[in-house]
Structure 1
């Protein structure tokens, strides 16, 4: 039963996405929202079925096996895939519920109305591909859904068809695709020639001399997908996408799936040499330096949030850096950070989208007095910026605290201090910048006398504000069950 429910979770939006290429306006609204709603309900069914009947065990179903390839395609249902699948399905529904109004003719900055069916098609495919990626048990399945996510990302980033949008869409497709070729082609090549199995479970059988290089290749795929140093530049440019796509891209899909890929590999690959830890520690520290230097000079709300995404994904990779030493707490912290980040980053982007929708600008220098003009939006912007800085009791405070409990790595090497100090520095600088913009945008003198919003937008922001505060308590029981497979650590 759980296998069927899981498969339907990503199959339904994939089919819905294909149908949407032929639809527009109200029919497109209905099919898009229906696809996201059904996917969310199916994912909730998977969650309930898993918790009630599978007691945190790993459910592995091989759908396609051959003599040459071993397992070519299958699914894994375990605490990690169930948790992240639920995050993606819930966040995706809220983002596109909001998106139904954002993509209307009432949007001051980007009125659309007719033609939104194409955007819905790409977004619905994006949802299906992301969920398919999360549950895949083989490198062939991961590659197919990885590339489909990249195609959908190109579609949404270039949707407005401006010169900047077309360039950004091409860049968002090419950079992760290069990483995919390096990582997945290496893994599939080794699977075919040496292991005769494409399953993640076969990773533990890779020889010790090959294992670190295979991991490094897959790490490159994860870095490019997650916009880590030195391939981070595509993510600020991808702000050309409509805001609901930006929220999904940053909060629950593209960027997070690079982190998820590396976490999956670490679960199965077994013991790695210590130099992998040193390499990851240096790379993540360089990554965190980029947003620290860029926060103070950003005036565009979405670009500020884009650099924040580079940092938050980097913080997830700090957890995985500790996990490469065999510290299970690093794996848990990374997935906890992914979960909490999804909702606070979604809230931040959807609030920035209301600046476009209601005020026609993303230039934060032109926005002030929100507490009087748009009070719910003012509250949402304050919660989002303080939440991203890691201020308690917002969600990311808990996942960062989980990360800081992983200081056992300090017993291995003092180098472990480097990424920890960079996380603290990033939080401090973003808090300073966030407070500066809250003071101006929320409490400053009114920049306009009045601005209109819509109940759908208000409801979406309220749902996300609530989730920002409660999601750590809902997610932690599953986070606690996440661990390594195969006894390699």
Structure 2
């Protein structure tokens, strides 16, 4: 039964996406939100069925051949159920908000006609992401990885300006190069050496091959998650409509690079120590990039984009320690991914409310939000302080687990460097964030008594995300604690 529910979670949005290319207006609104609502409810039913079954791991094989072994199947376990729930819930909230954001009432980007195309790409985006989360073979992962990339190109280039077209091309090419390196290597090794494309076969690889296959997958993950040196596509991708930016950063593209590496680590088994050192150096270089860029950002979405580079880097810090066989590193990474989804979504949807109500994302032009847009002002403060890691936001607890639970790794040289940089990133972002809160929320200059309008859909979405940003740690932790390795680590 749970296998059929998994299939429904991603096939409904995928089919709706194909239909949405042909329709527009209210019909498109109904089909889009109906398909994402169906995916979310189906995911909740899957959650209930999985937890009730008491099974740790459910593996369903749909296609198997003599030559290639398992070609396509699904894995239902604590990690896929947790992240699938995050994707389904966040996707629904972001696009519930998106129906109003894409309307003609948006001051900065008046919409209306043509939004069916945007909905089509977003439905495909969510369906492909859910399919990716549950896939059990490299071929399945590759197919959904590429559909995600295509959908990302569609939403980033949606406004069809010169900048949007350039950003969409960049957002498609860079992760696709990583996919070619990572997935083609994994599929090639699976065909020639393992005669099986399943993740379960990874533990049977010769020790001399394991680190090189993992390194290839790591490149795919780094490009997808905008890590050093391939981070530049993510700030440029802010040309997308804001609901797409929220999904891209909070629950899809960026997080799926992390998820891919975590999934492979679950099954591949022990790796040599040099892999740990390589990952520690790369994530340390990544964390330096946003710290240098935070102070010079004046655009709300670009500020949040550099924060995403750092937050994904923090997830990779957990995976760096997971490469040593530390289960807590795997758990901390997925905990961080879950908590980040809602606080980052809150940040982006708040930035979208600036576009909707004020017609600008320039933080230098935004002030006195406590009077003109009190809910947006409060949510902006919550988002910035939460991303800096301050309690009681859920992300404070996920970062805390990462920083406080890796004592076993301190015996390794350089282990302290990425952890120290996580703390430094939080300090720098807190400094920059408090500066903008003071100016945007409590500043007096700028709006001069102009009447500012918002909409109940915008307000409801922000309030819902604030609640989830508070409680997601409590809700996610039972599944986080159950995440572990399957490859003999």
What is the SS of the residue equivalent to 1:160?
coil
- 1:356 paired to 2:355: yes
Within 1, Cα distance between the matches of 2:318 and 2:445?
A: 42
Task: Provide TM-score, normalisation by structure 1.
Answer: 0.99
Give yes or no for contact 2:328–2:406 (8 Å, CA) kept in 1.
no
User: What residue in structure 2 maps to residue 13 of structure 1?
Assistant: 13
What is the SS of the residue equivalent to 1:68?
coil
Within 1, Cα distance between the matches of 2:364 and 2:165?
A: 27
How far does residue 409 in structure 1 lie from its aligned partner after superposition?
4.1
User: What residue in structure 2 maps to residue 440 of structure 1?
Assistant: 439
Give matches, 1:389-468, under 5 Å: 389-448=388-447, 449=449, 450-468=451-469
Give yes or no for contact 1:13–1:124 (8 Å, CA) kept in 2.
yes
How far does residue 414 in structure 1 lie from its aligned partner after superposition?
3.0
User: What residue in structure 1 maps to residue 278 of structure 2?
Assistant: 279
User: What residue in structure 2 maps to residue 326 of structure 1?
Assistant: 325
How far does residue 404 in structure 1 lie from its aligned partner after superposition?
1.1
Give matches, 1:159-178, under 5 Å: 159-178=158-177
How far does residue 407 in structure 1 lie from its aligned partner after superposition?
2.5
How far does residue 429 in structure 1 lie from its aligned partner after superposition?
0.1
Within 2, Cα distance between the matches of 1:355 and 1:261?
A: 34
User: What residue in structure 2 maps to residue 481 of structure 1?
Assistant: 482
How far does residue 57 in structure 1 lie from its aligned partner after superposition?
1.1
- 1:383 paired to 2:417: no
RMSD: 0.7
How far does residue 106 in structure 1 lie from its aligned partner after superposition?
0.2
Within 2, Cα distance between the matches of 1:437 and 1:56?
A: 47
User: What residue in structure 1 maps to residue 298 of structure 2?
Assistant: 299
Give matches, 1:234-249, under 5 Å: 234-249=233-248
Within 1, Cα distance between the matches of 2:46 and 2:349?
A: 28
How far does residue 461 in structure 1 lie from its aligned partner after superposition?
0.2
What is the SS of the residue equivalent to 2:415?
helix
- 1:31 paired to 2:31: yes
Within 2, Cα distance between the matches of 1:404 and 1:368?
A: 35
Give matches, 1:132-281, under 5 Å: 132-281=131-280
What is the SS of the residue equivalent to 1:125?
helix
What is the SS of the residue equivalent to 1:75?
strand
Structure 2 residues not aligned, in runs of 5+: none
Structure 1 residues not aligned, in runs of 5+: none
Give yes or no for contact 2:329–2:406 (8 Å, CA) kept in 1.
no
How far does residue 446 in structure 1 lie from its aligned partner after superposition?
4.8
What is the SS of the residue equivalent to 2:370?
helix
What is the SS of the residue equivalent to 2:390?
coil
User: What residue in structure 2 maps to residue 472 of structure 1?
Assistant: 473
User: What residue in structure 1 maps to residue 127 of structure 2?
Assistant: 128
What is the SS of the residue equivalent to 2:70?
strand
How far does residue 311 in structure 1 lie from its aligned partner after superposition?
0.1
Aligned positions, number: 487
Within 1, Cα distance between the matches of 2:193 and 2:318?
A: 31
Give yes or no for contact 1:372–1:446 (8 Å, CA) kept in 2.
no
What is the SS of the residue equivalent to 1:414?
coil
Within 2, Cα distance between the matches of 1:82 and 1:332?
A: 14
Within 2, Cα distance between the matches of 1:283 and 1:174?
A: 21
Within 2, Cα distance between the matches of 1:23 and 1:111?
A: 19
